[in-house]
A and B are shown apart, each in its own frame.
Chain A
Amino acid sequence: MNRVIEVRNLSKRYGETVAVEDLSFTVRPGRVTGFLGPNGAGKSTTMRMILGLDRPTGGRALIDGEPFARLAEPLRRVGALLETTAAHGGRRARDHLRWLARSNRIPERRTAEVLRMTGLENVARRRVKGFSLGMGRRLGLAAALLGDPAVLLLDEPLNGLDPQGILWMRNLMRDLAAEGRTVFVSSHLMSEMALTADHLVVIAGGRLLADTTAAAFVAANSRAYVRIRTPEPERMRDALAGAGIAAVAAPDGALEAEGAEPARIGELAAAHGLVVHEVAARESSLEEAFMRLTGEAR
């Protein structure tokens, strides 16, 4: 078992609307792979196609070289947490896990184990209808872990969790990957993924934008600049231009200069007799980099 998810030239169209277009990437074991994209980028559609729930218009999605539908007892190999709660409201949490266990000949004791792992043992006999969003996510995760699978697909697992829950889920994902499992987790929040993922697959508009390590993505997409506030921005800009430094105006009237250290800019200001209120080195956030990248793709 090589625990690999392979997406090859995957496409999904609904009539004229393109949800996913010629998407190819590979998800490998032993690390958390973030599947990143703005809302509506095609993340959930891609995950549903990997699970055989939606039929691709073109291309294939394979797990260990086989389509999901071909796997025998798939819950023992692939665990999935889908974005919507896939449990019947009238059923008790424990019973939901019991029928799942029966369907894949998973020993009954696993239901108690995953309920304990996800902190749901006290509500095991409660009906799912009364669950909060966070409890619903935990139940979904319990279902995903039921068969002790080597591959996990988690669609927006942090949605609806409180800060403690987010920290817990983040650590769990890292632990699962450290055990050698393949963890493929979607999110529309770059900041979350920067803290969790080792590798990133970034899509927008159904197309692949980046398939790289998280560190490389940050390096390639972050921007260092110096922020300058001055009562005379026009003269400052001329001074900078004279020294070969490009500067742009920020929305709040400050200047953002690239390619120079704050010290150099301070010296320039002194040489031109310019008053400055702020000279500070800044780095654009990952969120900005992500927005810029996905914004360009539209």
Chain B
Amino acid sequence: MSAGRAALRAEWVKIRTGRSTGWTLVLTFVLCVGLAVLLGLSMRGGFDRMDAGARANFDPVLVGFYGLLIGEIAFVAFGVLFVGSEYTSGMIRASLTAVPRRGVFYGAKMLTGALTASVFSLATGFATFFTAQAALGPHGVTLGSAGALRATLLACAHLTLMCLFAMGVAAIARGTALPLGIMIPLLFLDSQGLGNAPGIRTVAQYLPDQVGMVMMRAVPARPDAIDHRAFGPWTGLGVLVLWAAAAVVGGYLVLRRRDA
């Protein structure tokens, strides 16, 4: 048990002294909150020009969180770099010489990443909500309105789980280039509405970030809306937990089996 605590402390020093930690987290926060301001202001002016259907489907909470789909790309980079740089720098050999039990090392790394990510996600999620609702002005809602608190908490959970997913993928790929090269373009494309495209939508709606779109809603999309999904926010949480768990477990199996 003391070995686990010592390994956690070591990972905590790593996360604090790593060069990428600072800029990825600042960028994530700036993108999430900054886009919340832009989207809020834009919808505040655009609301009057919407037709009745669009107004009925209007979810001010979701509007505020659209920016997370872009901001989370930097957050994914944080997770990938925290784990993947162990391999690209060769540090993994020092890490496993210091903590040779691979399960202990991996557990400490994932737990440190997850705790850091969840604290940061909570701060970012709530800051994004309040900023967006303020920018929406008369169309904004408070945390007390129906579904708003749930949507905000699930938005935070979404960010944390995306980071954990990214950490697991980096452990599977044993590096940074492949996970960043695949995940960043995919997430960017996805944020443009891959989950809405007919045909691939049946499958694409279960992609990690698309699941987030459902989690972040205060009001479910109407059945005739283009972003209507076959599942609700809590199911969405479950799906995302499965994604993250699969990646984290996969990363462990790779670490346990391979030479360092």
* Residues of A near any B CB (own CB < 8 A): 48, 51-55, 68-69, 71-75, 78, 80, 82, 84-92, 95-96, 98-100, 102-105, 127, 143
Contact = CB atoms under 8 A, between A and B. Distances in A.
Contacts of A84: 90, 93
A139 B177 CA distance: 27
28 contacts: A48-B259, A53-B96, A53-B97, A53-B259, A55-B259, A74-B98, A82-B90, A82-B93, A82-B94, A84-B93, A86-B89, A86-B97, A88-B85, A90-B20, A90-B85, A91-B19, A92-B17, A95-B13, A95-B17, A96-B94, A98-B17, A99-B14, A102-B9, A102-B12, A103-B6, A103-B10, A103-B98, A104-B98
A88 B91 contact: yes
A74 B96 CA distance: 10
A72 B13 contact: no
Contacts of B9: 102-103
A91 B85 CA distance: 11
Given A53-B93, A53-B97, A103-B99, A91 B7 contact: no
Contacts of A80: 97
A99 B96 contact: no
Nearest to A55: B259
B31 to A, nearest CB: 22
B101 interface: yes
Interface in B153-190: none
Interface of B: 2-3, 6-7, 9-14, 17-20, 85, 89-101, 259-260
A54 B90 CA distance: 14
Contacts of B101: 69
B116 to A, nearest CB: 15
Contact of A86 (B13, B91, B259): B91
Contact of A74 (B90, B91, B97, B259): B97
A89 B97 CA distance: 19
Contact of B260 (A53, A98, A99, A103): A53
A195 B260 CA distance: 33
Interface centre among A53, A84, A86 (most CB of B within 10 A): A86
Contact of A85 (B7, B12, B90, B260): B90
Binding site of B, secondary structure by majority: helix, strand, loop or mixed? helix
A143 B12 CA distance: 18
Given A84-B93, A95-B17, A99-B13, 20 more contacts: A48-B93, A55-B259, A69-B101, A74-B100, A78-B97, A82-B93, A82-B94, A84-B90, A86-B89, A86-B93, A86-B97, A88-B18, A88-B91, A91-B14, A91-B19, A98-B17, A100-B10, A102-B9, A102-B12, A103-B98
Nearest to B7: A103
Contacts of A52: 96, 100
Given A48-B259, A84-B90, A105 B6 contact: yes
Nearest to A53: B260
Contact of A99 (B2, B17, B89): B17
B90 A99 contact: no
A69 B93 contact: no
A9 to B, nearest CB: 19
Contacts of B14: 91, 99
Given A91-B17, A91-B18, A71 B100 contact: yes
A78 B260 CA distance: 18
Nearest to A84: B90
Given A68-B100, A99-B17, A103-B99, A86 B7 contact: no
Closest 5 CB pairs of A and B: A90-B19, A103-B10, A86-B94, A95-B17, A99-B13
